[in-house]
Structure 1
Amino acid sequence: MASATVGTKGRITIPRQVRNQLGLVAGDRIDFVPNDETGRYEIIPANRRIKALKGIVAAPARPISVEDMNVMNSWYG
């Protein structure tokens, strides 16, 4: 089990093993989310890399023309 010590300014260093498992790198943000069932906090990476979004939206059934895009843009304009 990985552990860390809280410093005098409230800072901790996340152990390398945990950073690697979470895919964290310097500059990433993390969220501390309370788990009501366990009474503990969960550490969740708050940064999403653009590559993680690949495939989240399905491809359109047919290609969309520029004219169609312009019409849709005028709706939300």
Structure 2
Amino acid sequence: MRITSKGQVTIPAEIRERAGLLPQTEVEFEFDGKVVRIVRAKAGKRDGRGARLVAHLRGRGDVAMSTDAIMALTRGD
């Protein structure tokens, strides 16, 4: 495996699956002077995937309807 000019490598699928490294998983690098390790970042206060999606979508709606109006529309009232 080679490191690209941007410092990137591809982690083989089997290793990603065994380690539970899904897309958007935060990782950290550890170096002890001889060995580099990739480890899952500590949970801390980082938002989960759902929170990131909500934050991304917040304020993007362009329909000025009340919740009652939307519910009536979806129910066919």
- Normalised to the residue count of structure 1, the TM-score between the two structures is 0.46
TM-score (norm: length of structure 2): 0.46
